[in-house]
C-alpha cells in the first residue's frame, strides 16, 4: 500500500495528535514530497496499533515519522536519520497519537535498535520544546536510549487572553498604534485603501495569482525564492487548504489593485502563518505589518482559533514583537545504541 492509501487513517491521526502540525498533514506533506523530495533519500515510518482485546477492531495509525537519511549530523561522521522538513517547514513535531505516545516511541526505538533503520541515530528536528511532546519525551526516553536536546530557538505566539472578553488582539503600545494609524492614513493618500478577505466560495485561484505576482516583484522573487518556495507547491497547498476550510487569506488593495497579501493555515485550535508579501514600492507605509494586524483581527473572529504561531521572526514582525508567549523549538537526538 502507498502513502495515499493511508489518507483516512492519516486524517484521523492528525486530529488526535499530541501536537497539531498542519505541515505534516497529508494534504501538505504529499505535495511537499512531490515538489521537494525527488532528490532526497526519504522513508516514512508508520506505527500501526491493534487492539489485542478486540481483534475485529480496525487497525489505527498511531504515529507517522517522515525521515531522511543523512550522512552525518553535527559532524559526528556517522549516518543518521533526521525528520524530513520540506523547505521552510517551521515545525518538525511528528504526528503521534496523544493516547499512544509510549507505544509509538517504543516501536520507533525498537526499529532503530534492530538495525533495520540503517542508521544508529534519529534526529527529531525542530519539534516543540515546551509542551506535551517535550514532557512526554523527557519521561520516556531516559529509560529507552540515549537522548539529548539541542539547537534551542524561540519565536512569538499570540494566545487568546482569558476573561470576560477573550481576544487574540495584542496589547499594543500607544506609540505603535498611532504610528500604524499614521502609516495607513498616508497610504490612503495614494488611492482608495481597502482591507479584503477571501470568503468561502471566493476566487482562491485569483488570490493565489495575486500573491505570486506580488512575490515575483519582491526581493525574494528577484533572488529566485518563490513561496514555499515552489509556485506549484504553493498553489496546491493553498488550494487544498481553501477546500478544507483551513485557509485564511487577507489583503490590502489600493484603488482595486492588490498591493499586499498574506495567508494563514488553520490547525486544530490555532493557526500558522504561512506567507506574507507586499509591493515594495509601498514599503515605507509598512503594508506587511498593517496586513498582519488585519490577519489577527480576522483570526480573532474565527471560532476555535485560540493561538497564532508566528512560524518565523522574519515574516511575522508584529506577532514576534507583541506576542504574549514564546514558543521554544529544539531538536532531539535519539541514539539507539548497539543493535
Tens of pLDDT along 38-66?
Answer: 889 999 999 999 887 887 888 899 999 99
Q: Quote the CA–CA distance of 241 and 185 in Å, as a whole number.
A: 33
Q: pTM of the predicted model, to two decimals?
A: 0.90
CB proximity list for 103: less than 8 A, separation 6 or greater: 47, 49, 62
Burial 151-168 (b: 16+ CB within 10 A, else e): eeebbbbbbbeeeeeeeb
- What is residue 129's predicted lDDT score, i.e. its pLDDT? 72
d(CA 73, CA 103): 27
**pLDDT tens per residue across span 173-215:** 999 999 999 999 999 999 999 999 999 999 999 999 999 999 9
Spell out the per-residue pLDDT of the chain, length 339, in tens.
688 899 999 999 999 999 999 999 999 999 999 999 988 999 999 999 988 788 788 889 999 999 999 987 776 678 899 999 987 789 999 999 999 998 998 899 889 989 899 888 899 988 887 677 888 887 777 655 567 788 888 899 999 987 667 899 988 999 999 999 999 999 999 999 999 999 999 999 999 999 999 998 876 666 655 444 578 999 999 999 999 999 999 999 999 999 999 999 999 899 999 989 999 999 999 999 999 999 999 999 998 999 999 887 666 788 888 888 888 888 888 887 654
Helix axes of 204-216 and 231-243: crossing angle, nearest 10 degrees: 150
Radius of gyration (Cα) for the chain, nearest Å? 22
Burial of residue 37, with CB atoms counted within 10 A of its CB: 0-12 exposed, 13-18 middle, 19 or more buried: middle
Q: Smallest Cα–Cα separation from 47: which of 13, 84, 1?
A: 13
What b/e string do you get for 302-336 counting C-beta neighbours within 10 Å, with b at 16 or more? eeebbbbbbbeeebbbbbbebbeeebebbbbbbbb
Residue 256: per-residue pLDDT = 96
Cis status of the peptide bond prior to 229, with omega within 30 of 0 = yes
Which residue segments constitute the domains of the chain, with CATH numbers given? 3-154+328-335 (3.40.630), 162-323 (3.40.630.30)
Amino acid at each position: 500500500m502507498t502513502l495515499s492509501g493511508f489518507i483516512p487513517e492519516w486524517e484521523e491521526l492528525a486530529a488526535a495528535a499530541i501536537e497539531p502540525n498542519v505541515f505534516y498533514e497529508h494534504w501538505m506533506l504529499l505535495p511537499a514530497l512531490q515538489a521537494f523530495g525527488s532528490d532526497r533519500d526519504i522513508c516514512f515510518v508508520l506505527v500501526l496499533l491493534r487492539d489485542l482485546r478486540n481483534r475485529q477492531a480496525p487497525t489505527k495509525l498511531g504515529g507517522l515519522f517522515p525521515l531522511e537519511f543523512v550522512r552525518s549530523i553535527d559532524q559526528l561522521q556517522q549516518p543518521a536519520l533526521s525528520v524530513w522538513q520540506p523547505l521552510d517547514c517551521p515545525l518538525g513535531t511528528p504526528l503521534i497519537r496523544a493516547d499512544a505516545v509510549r507505544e509509538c516511541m517504543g516501536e520507533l526505538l525498537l526499529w532503530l535498535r534492530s538495525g533495520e533503520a540503517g542508521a544508529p541515530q534519529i534526529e527529531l528536528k525542530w519539534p516543540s520544546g515546551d509542551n506535551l511532546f517535550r514532557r512526554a519525551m523527557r519521561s520516556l526516553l531516559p529509560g529507552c536510549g540515549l537522548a539529548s536536546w539541542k539547537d534551542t530557538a524561540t519565536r512569538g505566539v499570540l494566545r487568546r487572553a482569558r476573561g470576560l472578553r477573550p481576544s487574540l488582539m495584542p496589547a499594543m503600545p500607544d506609540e505603535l498604534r498611532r504610528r500604524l494609524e499614521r502609516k495607513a492614513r498616508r497610504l490612503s493618500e495614494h488611492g482608495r485603501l481597502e482591507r479584503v478577505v477571501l470568503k468561502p466560495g471566493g476566487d482562491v485561484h485569483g488570490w493565489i495569482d495575486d500573491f505570486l505576482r506580488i512575490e515575483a516583484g519582491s526581493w525574494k522573487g528577484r533572488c529566485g525564492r518563490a513561496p514555499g518556495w515552489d509556485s506549484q507547491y504553493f498553489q496546491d497547498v493553498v488550494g487544498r487548504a481553501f477546500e478544507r476550510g483551513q485557509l485564511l487569506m487577507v489583503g490590502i488593495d489600493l484603488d482595486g489593485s492588490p498591493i499586499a497579501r498574506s495567508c494563514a493555515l488553520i490547525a486544530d485550535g490555532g493557526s500558522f502563518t504561512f506567507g506574507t508579501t507586499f509591493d515594495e514600492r509601498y514599503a515605507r507605509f509598512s503594508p506587511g505589518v498593517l496586513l498582519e494586524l488585519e490577519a489577527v483581527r480576522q483570526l480573532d473572529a474565527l471560532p476555535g482559533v485560540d493561538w497564532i504561531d508566528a512560524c518565523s521572526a522574519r515574516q511575522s514582525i508584529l506577532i514576534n514583537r507583541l506576542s504574549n508567549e514564546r514558543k521554544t523549538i529544539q531538536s532531539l537526538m535519539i541514539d539507539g545504541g548497539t543493535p
